[in-house]
A and B are shown apart, each in its own frame.
Chain A
Amino acid sequence: MSGDIGLWAVPVAMLGGAIRVSTPFLFVSLGEVITERSGRINLGLEGTLVFGAMAGYAVAYHTNSAWAGVLAAALAGSAFGLVHGLLCSLPKVNDIAIGIALMLLGTGLAFFFGKPYIQPVAPDLPAINLGWWSDLPQVQAALRVNVLFLLGAALAVALAWMLRKTRIGLTLRVVGDSSDAARALGISPARVRIQATAFGGALAGIGGAYLSLFYPGSWNEGISSGQGLIAVALVIFARWSPVNCFFAAMLFGAAGALGPALQSVGVTQGYYLSYAAPFVLTLIVLILSSSKTGALTGAPRELSITK
């Protein structure tokens, strides 16, 4: 085998790209699913993602352990989530506005604290070669799967199970669907929402750590290209289902990999346009999933955008 597989390189590269690029989408959207299922929207996850990337990279560099970095990113993320959750529990505070403020705060703080870490090299997260069975270097490259991707896929299934079969899941759905019913059951909606937002923040932080510790694999200020925001749209597309989030993340990952994949086979025309594919896809998805008359099916009824 020569390794030249012609135009087949594009779908193979897109599959590989989907696996590589989708992980941050997956984590952020899973976190946002849990937050939105509790009846809140956290738009600040973009900021959480960037801060998580910085914090994860910095801690991994200092401790020389990538996993310590992931843990730090999760903690930083849950702190952001906690701030969002607590602020939104105050009377007359709007979750969208707080989300935008926290998005700006997160990126700002990440740039401020992250300046010294642009040069140094931190350890990478390990990857598993699932492409050992193939001789083709393209396939091998595509199937070099990061552990976090597998964790994310497992988490999607676990969260779906949790929502259906556990007390916590049922409580979360009650709160997201009707504050009044929750209070009548003796559940404090604010408390559940704060916890759900903190959990969502932690997942977004892990998504950020993946960016800086695996792909692209270094910390710089342009590390995120709006994944945090796209992931919020993705949750609507996935109809608030964790398992759907996995497939939606794969789809967006593949769209994100379109540009580099086309370039690798020599298609350079419309280079910037193919890089914009995820954003175009976001718009298309939101238009297709919009409805002029009915309310969104499956949307938690307490969500401020669906009220």
Chain B
Amino acid sequence: MKKGWGLTVYAVLFVAFVYGPVLILPLFSFNDNTFATFPLTGFTTRHYVDMLGQRQMIASLMNSLRIGLAVTVLATAIAIPAAISITRYRFPGKPAVLSMLMLPLVVPSIVLAVALLVIILRFLGLPLSLWTVAAGHVLVALPFCVSVLISRLEGFDQSLEEASRDLGCSPMQTFRRVTLPLAMPGVISSLLLGFIISFDEFVIAFFLTGTENTLPVYLYSQLRFPNKLPGTLALGSVILVVSTVLVITAEVIRKRGVQTDNPGDY
């Protein structure tokens, strides 16, 4: 059909606009030059090799990995019962509770950050550390984990769980034998997305971290030094690749789950 050529061109331009600036980072990270300028002067992997020698960077990377792992496991573990409650149980005030769970999505992260900062330092008198960062990250990851799991749980018929009870399984056995296996694609995407959110988060980490850095905080501190630009570009590119791989994995698992579970004639 002839219609819609304009829109197709627009879509291509749109993708170019969204991806273009971001792809500049890996492009210049392989350029043999201290400045991110055209024309490109030559191909090098030097900046990546240099990165491996940066002790601080490696330390912040390890911190981010540790926090990300802890955050995502915790957030998903909290989100699973919450999503089951919202999709499977009737109780008063459910819409209000659901909006409250989604609140961290709309509150500007600087407000979340300073609010947590005030209560931690002034009211609880706790020292800032990677733990306080992780706490803040659980808060921002939770709405995403809950949403992913809710849409997964809504995706299969509740009568499957009723059938399991009818066939002699207790609620716990039903969870283990029916709900969990069927929700597994959602659980995995929740784990991956929770990890990415924590791994990429900057504002809360910046305010709540103590003496140790997370990777984005380290990256931010490097942005001030023009002579460190190539290393920053290389580090940024690595982060981009890692998140992209995780997102694709999460999305593919989620989509595949949806396809295979809706068989038959309806």
- Is B truly associated with A? no
